[in-house]
Structure 1
Amino acid sequence: MYRIRPTKEFDYGYNSITTIDEKEKNTMMDFGILKMKVNQVETDFEDKERAYLLIEGEAKLEWEENSCVIKRDSCFDDSPWVLHLPADVEVKITALKDDTEFAVTKTFNERKFDSRLYTPEECASEQRGKGTMKETSTRIVRTVFDYSNADYSNLVVGEVIDYPGKWSSYPPHHHPQPEIYYYRFYPENGYGFCQLGEDVVMVKHNDTVKVVDELSHPQTTAPGYAMYYLWVIRHVDGDPYITPTFEPEHLWVTKEDAKIWPDY
C-alpha cells in the first residue's frame, strides 16, 4: 500500500510508520511520530542521519554541548523547528507540554557533518501558484533544508500548507528519489486526495503516503478544510533531488496570463 492510515490515536512514545528495510515500496527511510506527555524524556543514539521536526508542542532539546527550548503552537500557522543530526550523535528530548509531537525521519549516511538546529526564521517560506489560474493552486511551501544548503545530507525536509479547495505539488511532477508525505487537517475531520500516477488515494488526518516508482503526485484538499503535509525526500546515491520533472502538457498553467477562456 502507498497510503498508511493509523488504526488508532498515536501512543505516547515513538510510533513507527515506515521503516528503512521494507521489502515493498521502500523509501530508504525510517519515519514515525514521537508523541510525548509533559516531563516525558526520550533519548536516541543511532548510526543514522536524523531529522526531528516539531509539529506541535514544547520541548527541551539537548545534544552534544547544546541545549535549547523550542515551541510551536500550530503547524498551520508557524514555521518549524528542525534538529538535524549526523550518525552517532545522542539527542535527549524532554517534553514541556502534553501531546508534544515530533515527526522523525532517519536514513543511512556515512558522511560526517555538524549537527544543526534550524529555527523557524531560517525556514524558507514562499507562496507558490499565486496570481495564476484564479489562485486554484496557491499554497505555502516551507523548505527547511535541501541540496542547496545541506548537500552533505541524504534528506530534503519541508512542509506545505494547502488552502481549502486548492491544489498543490502542481503542475504534476515526478522524480526518481523516494518521498514521504505526512498529513494533518484543520478541522481534523477534513480530507483531501493524493494522485499517484493513474491512481488516487483519499488522505485524512495523520495519514502517510509513500511516493515511489517515479509516480506523479499532485494533491488537492476538500473545500472547508486546510491541509498540512510534511514532505521528506531521500536523495539517491549519485542522483540527489534538485528539481522534479514536470509533465510538459500541464506546464502552461504556470504562465501569468493562463486562462481556459477569455472571461475566466
Structure 2
Amino acid sequence: MYLVKGNRDFGYVDLVPAANGAGLKWISLGLLRLQPGASYRGKLDGHEAVLVLLRGTCKVQVAGHEFGPYARQNVFAERATAVYVPVDGDYIVTNAGEGTLEVAVCQAVAEESHEPFAVLPEHVETKSVGEANFRRDVHDIVVKQAEGKVHRIIVGETFNPPGNWSSYPPHKHDEYIPGVEACMEEIYYYQCDPENGFGMQSIYTSDKAVDETFRVQHGDAFLIPRGYHPVCAAGGYQLYYLWLMAGPIDRTMIPHDDPNHAWVRERHWS
C-alpha cells in the first residue's frame, strides 16, 4: 500500500500511478529509462509535471521549446537539472548521451496554465538542515522559487549521510491549519550510494491507526497520504530521496512536528 518496489525496465514505468493503493489524489510518479539515441513522447492529462534528470544526458522538447542537452553523472555527484511541463502538455525526452538515461516524471493535478521552463543546477537552492545524526542536505528544485510559475507541484531532493535521519523530528502535513500545518500528499523516490544499500522508512499517525516501518532500497518509492514519516539511512550508505508534494490548498510548505518529539528541534536545531 505504501511501498512500491523499484523497476529497472526500459521505457516509461508508471511507478506510482494516479490510481494507487495509498489513495493519493493529487500526485503521481513515473520513471523514464532510455537507451542511447532513444526518445519518449509523453502527454499529460489534467496534470503538470517536473522532469528531473537523475542520470545521463538528455534533450527535452515541450510545446515548441527545446531544452538541453543537459547532463548529470548521478544524483550524488551534482545538483539537479529539471524541466517544467505545463498542464495537458506534450513533451519529448531524448537520450543524447552514450549511457542509460534516467528521468523522474513528477506529476501533480493542475488547472492553471503556465510556460515551460528549465531549472539548472545553479538555480537549485541548497541548505543543511538539522545537526548531529539528523543532519541532512536539502535541495529545493521547484519550491518557493517557482511560485507563480507552476500551479501546485513542489519538487526537491534530500541527501542523508550514512546513519542519519531526515523528515526529523517526525513531521506531517495532512491537516490544513493556517500558519501551523499544510495539507499535502507526498511521494519519496530513493537511491542509495552504494546501490546495494538501504534505509528505514516509518509512517504513523497519532491515533496509531497507521504505524508501520519499511526497508527501502535503491529505486523504491514510498507513498505518504498522511501521517508522520521519518526516514533513516543505513550505516555506511548515503540515502537520497526525491520528494514530490501537492495538495488542494496552496504551495506553502508548513510541516507540523510530532509533539512527542518536538523537543529535539527546540533543543538541538541549528
TM score, norm. by length of structure 2:
0.87
Q: Does structure 1 retain, via aligned residues, the 8 Å contact 2:59–2:66?
A: no
SS of alignment partner, residue 264 of structure 2: helix
RMSD value, Cα: 1.8
Residue identity matched to 1:186: D
The answer for the alignment partner of 2:14 in structure 1 is 16
1:15-50 deviation per Cα after TM superposition (whole angstroms, max 9, x unaligned): 111111336422432311100110001122323211
TM score, norm. by length of structure 1:
0.88
Q: Does structure 1 retain, via aligned residues, the 8 Å contact 2:203–2:213?
A: yes
* Deviation of the 1:241 alpha carbon: 4.2
SS of alignment partner, residue 58 of structure 1: strand
Q: Does structure 1 retain, via aligned residues, the 8 Å contact 2:154–2:251?
A: no
* Deviation of the 1:139 alpha carbon: 0.7
* Deviation of the 1:235 alpha carbon: 2.0
Residue identity matched to 1:208: A
CA distance in 1, matches of 2:21, 2:167: 27
The answer for the alignment partner of 1:41 in structure 2 is 39
The answer for the alignment partner of 1:61 in structure 2 is 60
The answer for the alignment partner of 1:140 in structure 2 is 137
SS of alignment partner, residue 209 of structure 1: strand
- Aligned residue among 159, 163, 186 for 1:165: 163
Work out the number of aligned pairs and report it.
250
Describe the shift of the 1:23–1:68 C-alpha distance in structure 2 as closer, same or farther (beyond 3 A): same
The answer for the alignment partner of 2:177 in structure 1 is none
Q: Does structure 2 retain, via aligned residues, the 8 Å contact 1:2–1:25?
A: no
The answer for the alignment partner of 2:198 in structure 1 is 191
The answer for the alignment partner of 2:208 in structure 1 is none
Q: In the alignment, is residue 111 of structure 1 matched against residue 109 of structure 2?
A: no
Residue identity matched to 1:139: R
The answer for the alignment partner of 2:189 in structure 1 is 182
Q: Whose strand fraction is larger, Structure 1's or Structure 2's?
A: 2
Structure 1: 5+ residue stretches without partners: 259-264
Q: Does structure 2 retain, via aligned residues, the 8 Å contact 1:190–1:205?
A: yes
SS of alignment partner, residue 40 of structure 2: strand
The answer for the alignment partner of 2:92 in structure 1 is 92
CA distance in 1, matches of 2:134, 2:268: 15
CA distance in 2, matches of 1:247, 1:128: 17
Residue identity matched to 2:51: Y
The answer for the alignment partner of 1:262 in structure 2 is none
Range that drifts further, 244-253 or 226-235: 244-253
The answer for the alignment partner of 1:2 in structure 2 is 2
- Aligned residue among 248, 252, 256 for 2:259: 248
Q: In the alignment, is residue 222 of structure 1 matched against residue 220 of structure 2?
A: no
The answer for the alignment partner of 2:27 in structure 1 is 29
SS of alignment partner, residue 261 of structure 2: helix
Structure 2: 5+ residue stretches without partners: 175-183, 205-210
Residue identity matched to 1:170: Y
